[in-house]
Amino acid sequence: MCRDRAPCYMEGSSVYACCNVCLCVLYPCIDCIQEAPVAVLERSVYSARYCFVKNLHKSGVMDDMEHECYCQWFDLVTRQSPPQLDLIVYLRSSPEVCYQRLQERGRKEEKPVTLEYLQALHECYEDWLGNDKHHSWHGNTPVLVIDGNEDCKLNNTLHKKHCSNILSHLGLSETVAA
Protein backbone atom coordinates (compact mmCIF):
# COMPACT_ATOMS: atom_id res chain seq x y z
CA MET A 1 0.00 0.00 0.00
CA CYS A 2 3.00 2.33 0.22
CA ARG A 3 3.42 2.69 -3.51
CA ASP A 4 5.13 6.01 -4.22
CA ARG A 5 4.29 7.65 -0.92
CA ALA A 6 6.79 8.42 1.75
CA PRO A 7 7.37 7.44 4.44
CA CYS A 8 6.31 3.79 4.11
CA TYR A 9 6.27 3.16 7.86
CA MET A 10 3.18 5.36 8.19
CA GLU A 11 0.64 2.62 7.63
CA GLY A 12 1.90 0.46 10.48
CA SER A 13 2.28 3.56 12.60
CA SER A 14 -1.31 4.60 11.86
CA VAL A 15 -2.67 1.20 12.87
CA TYR A 16 -0.56 1.28 16.04
CA ALA A 17 -1.86 4.76 16.89
CA CYS A 18 -5.43 3.61 16.34
CA CYS A 19 -4.90 0.62 18.64
CA ASN A 20 -3.48 2.93 21.31
CA VAL A 21 -6.53 5.17 21.00
CA CYS A 22 -8.73 2.14 21.61
CA LEU A 23 -6.71 0.99 24.61
CA CYS A 24 -6.55 4.44 26.21
CA VAL A 25 -10.26 5.01 25.86
CA LEU A 26 -11.44 1.53 26.82
CA TYR A 27 -8.96 0.90 29.64
CA PRO A 28 -7.98 4.16 31.37
CA CYS A 29 -5.50 4.03 34.21
CA ILE A 30 -8.03 3.76 37.05
CA ASP A 31 -5.34 3.63 39.75
CA CYS A 32 -3.84 6.89 38.46
CA ILE A 33 -7.22 8.60 38.36
CA GLN A 34 -8.10 7.52 41.91
CA GLU A 35 -4.77 8.63 43.39
CA ALA A 36 -4.48 12.09 41.81
CA PRO A 37 -7.16 14.73 41.41
CA VAL A 38 -5.57 15.99 38.17
CA ALA A 39 -4.13 14.04 35.26
CA VAL A 40 -2.29 16.14 32.69
CA LEU A 41 -1.62 14.59 29.31
CA GLU A 42 0.60 16.14 26.66
CA ARG A 43 -1.58 14.71 23.92
CA SER A 44 -4.91 12.95 23.82
CA VAL A 45 -6.95 10.69 21.61
CA TYR A 46 -8.56 13.88 20.34
CA SER A 47 -5.33 15.70 19.44
CA ALA A 48 -4.22 12.56 17.61
CA ARG A 49 -7.44 12.50 15.59
CA TYR A 50 -8.08 16.19 14.99
CA CYS A 51 -4.48 17.35 14.52
CA PHE A 52 -1.89 14.69 13.78
CA VAL A 53 -4.03 12.30 11.73
CA LYS A 54 -5.77 15.21 9.99
CA ASN A 55 -2.36 16.63 9.06
CA LEU A 56 -1.12 13.25 7.79
CA HIS A 57 -4.19 13.01 5.57
CA LYS A 58 -3.98 16.61 4.32
CA SER A 59 -0.30 16.18 3.46
CA GLY A 60 -0.94 12.94 1.55
CA VAL A 61 1.03 10.67 3.89
CA MET A 62 -2.23 8.94 4.85
CA ASP A 63 -4.54 8.13 1.95
CA ASP A 64 -8.33 8.46 1.98
CA MET A 65 -8.93 4.80 2.83
CA GLU A 66 -6.49 4.81 5.76
CA HIS A 67 -7.94 8.06 7.04
CA GLU A 68 -11.51 6.79 6.81
CA CYS A 69 -10.54 3.56 8.57
CA TYR A 70 -8.82 5.45 11.39
CA CYS A 71 -11.76 7.86 11.76
CA GLN A 72 -14.30 5.04 11.90
CA TRP A 73 -12.31 3.24 14.58
CA PHE A 74 -11.91 6.47 16.50
CA ASP A 75 -15.63 7.25 16.30
CA LEU A 76 -16.58 3.73 17.34
CA VAL A 77 -14.29 3.67 20.35
CA THR A 78 -14.99 7.20 21.58
CA ARG A 79 -18.75 6.72 21.25
CA GLN A 80 -18.53 3.38 23.07
CA SER A 81 -16.56 4.79 25.98
CA PRO A 82 -16.07 8.56 25.70
CA PRO A 83 -13.15 9.97 27.70
CA GLN A 84 -14.30 12.17 30.55
CA LEU A 85 -12.59 15.54 30.16
CA ASP A 86 -12.83 18.39 32.62
CA LEU A 87 -10.67 20.87 30.75
CA ILE A 88 -8.55 21.12 27.63
CA VAL A 89 -5.54 23.41 27.94
CA TYR A 90 -4.34 24.71 24.59
CA LEU A 91 -0.82 26.13 24.76
CA ARG A 92 -1.07 28.30 21.67
CA SER A 93 2.38 28.93 20.28
CA SER A 94 3.34 30.27 16.90
CA PRO A 95 5.01 27.77 14.58
CA GLU A 96 8.07 30.05 14.51
CA VAL A 97 8.45 29.95 18.30
CA CYS A 98 8.00 26.16 18.28
CA TYR A 99 10.63 25.80 15.57
CA GLN A 100 13.06 28.03 17.46
CA ARG A 101 12.58 25.90 20.60
CA LEU A 102 13.18 22.72 18.61
CA GLN A 103 16.41 24.18 17.27
CA GLU A 104 17.54 25.24 20.76
CA ARG A 105 16.82 21.79 22.23
CA GLY A 106 18.89 20.17 19.50
CA ARG A 107 17.34 16.72 19.86
CA LYS A 108 18.45 14.33 17.14
CA GLU A 109 14.94 12.91 16.66
CA GLU A 110 13.51 16.42 16.10
CA LYS A 111 16.02 17.45 13.40
CA PRO A 112 13.76 16.38 10.48
CA VAL A 113 10.88 18.61 11.73
CA THR A 114 10.42 21.55 9.39
CA LEU A 115 8.82 24.92 9.94
CA GLU A 116 6.31 24.01 7.22
CA TYR A 117 5.26 20.91 9.16
CA LEU A 118 4.79 22.98 12.33
CA GLN A 119 2.75 25.55 10.38
CA ALA A 120 0.46 22.82 9.03
CA LEU A 121 0.06 21.28 12.49
CA HIS A 122 -0.63 24.72 14.01
CA GLU A 123 -3.41 25.21 11.45
CA CYS A 124 -4.96 21.89 12.56
CA TYR A 125 -4.79 22.92 16.22
CA GLU A 126 -6.38 26.27 15.42
CA ASP A 127 -9.17 24.54 13.50
CA TRP A 128 -9.71 22.20 16.44
CA LEU A 129 -9.33 24.43 19.50
CA GLY A 130 -8.87 27.99 18.32
CA ASN A 131 -12.50 28.50 17.36
CA ASP A 132 -15.51 28.10 19.69
CA LYS A 133 -17.79 26.73 16.98
CA HIS A 134 -15.76 23.50 16.77
CA HIS A 135 -16.12 22.49 20.42
CA SER A 136 -19.26 20.38 20.15
CA TRP A 137 -17.27 17.21 19.33
CA HIS A 138 -16.10 16.78 22.93
CA GLY A 139 -19.29 17.47 24.85
CA ASN A 140 -18.45 21.14 25.16
CA THR A 141 -15.50 20.56 27.47
CA PRO A 142 -14.09 24.01 28.28
CA VAL A 143 -10.94 25.02 26.45
CA LEU A 144 -8.43 27.25 28.23
CA VAL A 145 -6.11 28.97 25.77
CA ILE A 146 -2.72 29.97 27.19
CA ASP A 147 -0.14 32.03 25.33
CA GLY A 148 2.60 29.48 24.74
CA ASN A 149 4.89 32.04 23.13
CA GLU A 150 5.82 33.33 26.56
CA ASP A 151 8.82 31.54 28.07
CA CYS A 152 7.93 30.12 31.49
CA LYS A 153 11.49 28.86 32.00
CA LEU A 154 12.61 32.46 32.36
CA ASN A 155 9.62 33.59 34.39
CA ASN A 156 8.61 31.44 37.38
CA THR A 157 5.81 33.86 38.24
CA LEU A 158 4.24 33.24 34.85
CA HIS A 159 4.47 29.47 35.37
CA LYS A 160 2.71 29.78 38.74
CA LYS A 161 0.05 32.03 37.17
CA HIS A 162 -0.71 29.43 34.51
CA CYS A 163 -0.87 26.61 37.09
CA SER A 164 -3.20 28.67 39.25
CA ASN A 165 -5.39 29.49 36.24
CA ILE A 166 -5.67 25.81 35.28
CA LEU A 167 -6.51 24.72 38.83
CA SER A 168 -9.07 27.51 39.09
CA HIS A 169 -10.78 26.33 35.89
CA LEU A 170 -10.94 22.84 37.43
CA GLY A 171 -12.39 24.19 40.67
CA LEU A 172 -9.33 23.07 42.64
CA SER A 173 -7.18 24.96 45.09
CA GLU A 174 -3.47 25.61 44.64
CA THR A 175 -2.65 23.23 47.52
CA VAL A 176 -3.46 20.32 45.17
CA ALA A 177 -0.43 21.23 43.04
CA ALA A 178 1.96 21.09 45.99
Residues with catalytic function? 42
**DSSP secondary structure, 30-89, as one string:** HHHHHH-S----SS-HHHIIIIIIHHHHHTTSS-HHHHHHHHHHHHHHHHHS----S-EE
Side-chain-side CA neighbours of residue 131 (13 Å): 9
Q: Residue 147 belongs to what H/E stretch?
A: strand 143-147
